[in-house]
A and B are shown apart, each in its own frame.
Chain A
Amino acid sequence: MIGQAMRDQQRELTVFRNRLMLLGLAILVAFGVLLARFTWLQVVQQSYYHTLAEQNRISVVPVVPNRGLILDRNGLVLAANYSAYTLEVTPSKVASVERAIDELARVIDVSARDRRRFRKLAEESKNFESLPIRTRLTEEEVARFAVNRYRFPGFEIKARPFRSYPQGEVASHAIGYIGRINDADVKRIDAAGLTTNYKGTDHIGKLGIEGAYEKELHGITGSEQVEIDAGGRAIRSLSRNEPVSGNNLVMTLDLKLQKIAEQAFGDYKGALVAIDPRNGEVLALVSQPGFDPNLFVDGIDPQSWDALNNSPDKPLNNRALRGQYPPGSTIKPFMALAALESKKRNPEYAISDPGYFTLAGVAHRYGDWKKGGHGMVNMHKAIEVSCDTYFYGLANEMGIDLIHNYMTRFGFGSRTGIDIDGELPGLAPSQEWKMQRFHQKWYAGDTVSVGIGQGYMLATPLQLATATAILANGGRPVHPHLLEAVQDAKTREMHPVQMPQDDAQPVVKRENLDFIRAAMIDVTKPGGTAVVAFSNAPYAVAAKTGSAQVVGMKQGEKYDERRMKKEHWDNALFIAFAPADDPKIAVGIMVENGQHGGSTAAPIARQMFDYYLLGKEPAPKKAAPKPDESTPPDTAEEEHD
């Protein structure tokens, strides 16, 4: 029994020892596996993991360059930068952004507008982006937030550069604005291969000079290698590659002239372009009403956006480039020139104006603006008094295709190529165009209307100004542009913009041009349609007034503004250049529902010329004509179109 137990015990001990040895072996194997694993990680794969560790640790942060300034031709600032504190939040780091903002509103001021703007921004952005909830924080607000910071994870104060447009609405359509980069912008940036250069950049030029010269203004993004911890906080800077600021842009605009022009519009809507006919520099580009580009910089709030976008006045529409209006009688000098050039009329040829025009075999009467007509009218007088009958006949004799041919020489019907986006081409109609557009043949009656700038004919204020500049500079092509020079951000050197120097032949003959110019000078003289606006002007002005119907008129129906809605009143137009013998400025003006070019549009040109040529500033207040419906319409004959 004891022996049995002893044997059992012995056997058990053997089993135990064997198993212990076995486990010892297993231990060695296990440590062997671990050794193999460590060798694999730390010897074989070392460089791979080293790279990963460095990537973890080192973050390359883009350093955004300062955006270039925009200046007027005299160096006055139109767009500048300033640095301000913004409070930003990364929505993905916050459980409930709305609740967090409610909480935040107890610490610093968060207005309803800020909230609306933020909500819109959040909808348009990805939730891991850092979005501003408040901008332009005061030092006190920064301090107050800093104390409460622990309560707001995901919120951060950042010092950011901001764009400001110190002139507010002035020249807003020419300067444009910057806005936050949206999906469409990202696509364009990627397509242009600029993805790297836009790392860290939140804003991009959207319109006007800001949009067109984005490349010059943006600059070259620098970079900084920083050591970061797992939370993404920068611990220290390892190396830095400085950014290159964007270049400053000097615009051709004369801010003072621009302001005078805008004020001269008063409450009228409309547009105006002033060009230096010698070189195509755009001195003023007005589209009224304007808008405050500052609204767009940190994301416009929906309410302001709706107000701008849905306003019947369409303040966001750049009328100077995109408003296509019948040019009315301002087309007459060009029609006359076309007739001279094509030898369809000689200057002495005169008609007896009965106050209307009829096509052979058609009963319809094309009425002159003046009942009873102007009597005997030759070309000079036809321009001076703006005789419709004369131009009905002239157009009819030329035929639409010849008219089309000449109108295109003055730039009608195609884009002028101005250096900002959005321009529309207007319309210089032709038989071919009508067939394509309406599948209809062209009628003789269509041509008659075109003779006085009505019917199918459409032009933008920019085209009117450009065509006028061509008349002013002896018939040479004009390339209107808004950029005068680029100032290198580093060297401060000015690089004037090189315009295409096509010394192309004048599009018209000198003597014909001189004839038209003489007639246009008489427009501002006694007997002319713009005499009142230019009485006592110490310089000679060549001009043409115009008014164009906004709504069609039935046969025999009389235009009576007292019985019409104001938005159906005629548009007033005016083209002019001065001094007539050595033109330095040419304008094309369109005043919506201004009715008479001579009384509403011409005074705007007068104020501009007085300032630009004489340095005379308009007397305050009384300057602007008021579109007051109670004011009796002008009855002076020479002010009628």
Chain B
Amino acid sequence: MAKLHENPLTKRPRARARHHEEHVEAEALFTSMGDGAITTDEFGKITRVNPAAQQILGYSEAELLDEWLPKKIIALSFDDSPINLIDRPITKTFLTGKPISAKMYYRRKDGEKIPVAINTSPIIVDGKPLGAIELFRDITLEQEVDRMKSEFISLASHQLRTPLSAIKTYTHMLAEGYMGKLNSSQKKSLNTIISASNRMNELISTLLNITRIESGTIAITLKMVHMVTIIEDVLPELIVMAQAKNITVTLDASDNARNRIKTDSLIVKEVVTNLVSNAIKYTPDGGTVAIIVQAQRSDIRVEVRDSGWGIPTYDQDQIFSKFFRGQNIVKRETSGTGLGLYLVKGLIDALGGKVWFTSEESVGTSFFFTLPRANQSKTPGDKEKAIFL
């Protein structure tokens, strides 16, 4: 009798059995996933729903199957405004053919609004789009932890700043002669304390602002101000820092009358302080830092140009990343958190501006930022914030 496996016709049962096993495994995977999973056809009609998705949304499988996903599952922004169809991750996946991630709110069947983190991907077989898969999870707990973290950092920063305010005020009063004349040795000691407390202040400000940006709670107050006046306000202390390294700091503002702008001066001061203090820190002794303000038709442009060590090409892509510090810098200057430029980018984005740079190693770096004259800051309620972050 021929052996079963030698007959081509008898190979089919084994292949069928293997296929069945794989199907059962795939089904078990889809069903047992802890995240909600929904698949759709190429038109967005729901074809499969796993138990986790039903549990998160409060709908039964029967209530979801064959429904058009964007219509059946209502998506909302943090202020309850509906997310436009074009901004839904599944729409973007269909349009771009790429995986998309987003955070927003979904409305459950019982009307409750829950925050979700969503990932959508296209389903492509043999080069043909068959549909999409959306994975999502309830992030209520994560959001609550973030909120508590944010509140804690806010409170801690404020409490840390209170004694620092007294240190700053009294050391400066001593240095400025309010309590009598000091000898040069006393002045030198005071300057050491002032410098250290300024560094601590800077770090607390940075941490606080980053927390606010990341949690979307930064409050922007727009007022008409002169860009040059804002910069002049922060220059004196930066010049003291520069003088310690014999670095010359200059400010060049052409057409002063036209540099009025509606913006948040405290935020701009934070940006300028960060960029100029970086320029001073990363420029060798005897170098130069130039601040150039140019009024343009629809915006004001500020450049901070230094004759410093520059940024190597291989590091330039990451320069605005959180905690990033260039290797050429870390070897020379051990202080620094890698948060300054991440903060600068976040603040300029919040004001509706742009920030970029050019750099050449051993020659220097120029950081630029522009702020629109007719301010388009991204405050809550704007379309750009329609996706909950």
Task: Specify whether A and B are partners.
Answer: no
Residues of chain B having any CB pair with chain A under 8 Å: none
Residues of chain A having any CB pair with chain B under 8 Å: none
